[in-house]
Amino acid sequence: MKRRDFLKYTAPATILPTFINGFAVKAFGSSSLLSALENAAADNDHVLVMIQLVGGNDGLNMVVPIDLYDKYQAIRPNIAIPQGKLLPLVNNVKTGLHPAMSGVQQLYEEGKVCIIQSVGYPSPNYSHFRATDIWVSGSDANEIVETGWGGRFLDTQYPGYPDGYPNDDNPDPLAIQIGSIVSPAFQGANANTGIAISSATDFYNLLDDVVDPVPNTHAGVELAYVRLIAKQTNKFSDSIKKAAQNVTSQSEYPDTQLGRQLKIVARLVAGGLKTRMYMVSMGFFDTHASQTQGGDNTTGYHAELLKELSEGIKAFMDDLTKLKASRRVVGMTFSEFGRRIKSNSSMGTDHGAAAPMIVFGDYVQQGILGTSPDIPDSGSVADNTPMQYDFRSVYASLLEQWFCVDNTTLQSILFKDYQRLPIVSGIACGTITGIDDVNNGSKGLITNYPNPFVDTTTLKYKTRGGHTMIQIFDTMGRLVGVPVNNMMAGGEYTAVFDSKKLAAGIYYARLQNGVYQEVRSMLKVKV
């Protein structure tokens, strides 16, 4: 979505600050008031909760590579987390969590967390606005898509929306954003499929029938009339209020931005609202400077953000468990990009490429999917974490394994047939191989010789058969070549990578074959 189109959709959005007794609902201005408000959800038990980490999260300090710790410490000496302070993960000696993330660590030990390493996309964009748009639309870096991936999914489940919605069978919103603007992720072909609860205050005003007083003037009479019409027009207020009132007690949450948002989501889910997708957000993760506190790299601004994230997720899952609604929910984190491998002189990190995602829930497969990110021996501030998994593979996997979307529909939603990853247990929809099997099967798949090389190098690779692809990336994450992209029989093959037109430096060869993938670093040198 172009910047001007985003502003076109959001700036004229329907905004009624005192909507239904203080419950502010906003919908994109591309549809009329009635069609924007008449959204509903189908009767589906599974819920996806997305947590947006605004600003670009430093994944390398959140999920730390213990097996590459010496390289990690050498390349970011002024912000590296001391190895002895890292939180260990059960049955995993290669990875540790930031010490502020004890809540996520506990959920991992309970078998409710999957961490996906180095998630990104080819040729990443480093603009906050454009990178966010790519993630929420599910587009390639070089294309503009006017709809969101969530909106396209909901369009397939509710054809013709918003005409005829809500109705007796579908009285609830399809998607809810806790925040002032509905996410473009929910933009469908005809209308945005989501509504926004602008704040926790507005939510509780709705439940308590709190109404801001109107002045005793002619304008006050008109304002009261507008509020009355808005309340009559809004088709969601009764179902939202009913669901919330079904929950009379909740567990304790941290008094943070994320904690307040997730508490609302838990109440609506446990109260029986059939909304299928929720979006919450927190920030700001743009840590160019003062990421850690001088003298103690376990503290500082980034540590505070990670603590808020971890405590919020833990409280959310504990609350849902107590309310007997946790089996309905899978959650995931995402950020528009990661940070550079090498820290800068301001005790921070600059805009980068790939970063880990955290997926959590009762039916999530426990484990670390992928390997520790490749860290060069002597890196520069331009070096980025090479992508192991495309973010749309995560979307495809969740849609297939949590919402039981078939392959044909998946390709219509995401435009391509993306690699599927073992994220959700087969209890939900029937699934694929386990994480350990995928990780073990993703070793020794690709080598190259000679290495280092001058102009050309031969890629030697193995495939189990089926679609096989090799992508070549530079240290900025740019896709510079695709020497293999075919349906193949199982076996061992070779391909030549010709780099005559490329500068000397480090390159990454990424092989993908079904659920398996491996990244190989290669060094081009000058004659």
What pLDDT digit, counting tens, does each position of 302-352 carry?
999 999 999 999 999 999 999 999 999 999 999 999 999 999 999 999 999
Q: Beta strand pairing status for 92-97 and 63-65? A: antiparallel
Residue 160 DSSP code: T
For residues 447-461, give the mean pLDDT: 97
Helix (H, G, I), strand (E, B) or coil at 33: helix
Q: Which positions ≥6 away from 202 have C-beta within 8 Å?
A: 22, 23, 24
> Phi/psi at 84 (nearest 5 deg)?
-70, -15
For residue 11, the model assigns a pLDDT of: 31
The count of domains in the chain is: 2
Q: Where are the alpha helices (DSSP H) in 209-300?
A: 218-233, 237-245, 257-270
Instruction: Identify whether residues 180 and 297 lie together within a single domain.
Output: yes
Instruction: Identify whether residues 460 and 417 lie together within a single domain.
Output: no
Taking the C-alpha atoms of residue 183 and residue 394, their distance in angstroms, rounded to an integer, is: 19
Which of the four pLDDT bands, split at 50, 70 and 90, describes residue 432?
low
For residues 61-74, give the mean pLDDT: 97
pLDDT at 287 over 80: yes
Q: Identify residue 478 by its one-letter amino acid code.
A: R
> Phi/psi at 51 (nearest 5 deg)?
-110, 110
For residue 164, the model assigns a pLDDT of: 82
For residue 114, the model assigns a pLDDT of: 98
Q: Domain limits at 472? A: 446-524
Where residue 471 sits, what CATH number does that domain have?
Answer: 2.60.40.3080
For residue 257, the model assigns a pLDDT of: 95
For residue 319, the model assigns a pLDDT of: 98
Instruction: Identify whether residues 371 and 236 lie together within a single domain.
Output: yes
For residue 248, the model assigns a pLDDT of: 95
Choose one of 441, 476, 493: the last residue of a domain: 441
Instruction: Identify whether residues 304 and 437 lie together within a single domain.
Output: yes
For residue 353, the model assigns a pLDDT of: 97
Nearest in space to 83 (alpha carbons), one of 66, 60, 67, 100: 66
505 φψ region: left (φ > 0), alpha (ψ -120 to 50), beta (else): left
Instruction: Identify whether residues 435 and 348 lie together within a single domain.
Output: yes
Nearest in space to 259 (alpha carbons), one of 323, 197, 311, 329: 311
Q: pLDDT digits over 1-15, tens only? A: 444 443 334 332 333
Instruction: Identify whether residues 268 and 353 lie together within a single domain.
Output: yes
- The pTM for the full model equals 0.87
514 φψ region: left (φ > 0), alpha (ψ -120 to 50), beta (else): left
Taking the C-alpha atoms of residue 348 and residue 102, their distance in angstroms, rounded to an integer, is: 23
Mean pLDDT of the chain: 88
Helix (H, G, I), strand (E, B) or coil at 3: helix
Instruction: Identify whether residues 372 and 460 lie together within a single domain.
Output: no
Instruction: Identify whether residues 437 and 488 lie together within a single domain.
Output: no
For residues 360-369, give the mean pLDDT: 96
Instruction: Identify whether residues 207 and 352 lie together within a single domain.
Output: yes
Q: pLDDT digits over 466-475, tens only? A: 999 999 999 9
Q: pLDDT digits over 149-184, tens only? A: 999 999 999 888 888 888 888 889 999 999 878 899
> Percentage of the chain with pLDDT > 70?
88
Which of the four pLDDT bands, split at 50, 70 and 90, describes residue 228?
low
Where residue 404 sits, what CATH number does that domain have?
Answer: 3.40.720
Higher pLDDT, 440 or 102: 102
Q: Beta strand pairing status for 516-524 and 277-283? A: unpaired
Residue 96 in contact with residue 406, Cβ under 8 Å?
no
Instruction: Identify whether residues 282 and 323 lie together within a single domain.
Output: yes
For residues 107-118, give the mean pLDDT: 98
Choose one of 406, 425, 441: the last residue of a domain: 441
Q: DSSP string covering 432-460, please? A: ---HHHHHHHTSS-EEEESSSBSSEEEEE
Choose one of 383, 415, 441: the last residue of a domain: 441
Instruction: Identify whether residues 395 and 467 lie together within a single domain.
Output: no
| Class of residue 339 by CB neighbours under 10 A (exposed 0-12, middle 13-18, buried 19+) | buried
Instruction: Identify whether residues 257 and 135 lie together within a single domain.
Output: yes
Residue 197 in contact with residue 62, Cβ under 8 Å?
no
Q: Count CA atoms closer than 13 A to 356's CA, side-chain side.
A: 26
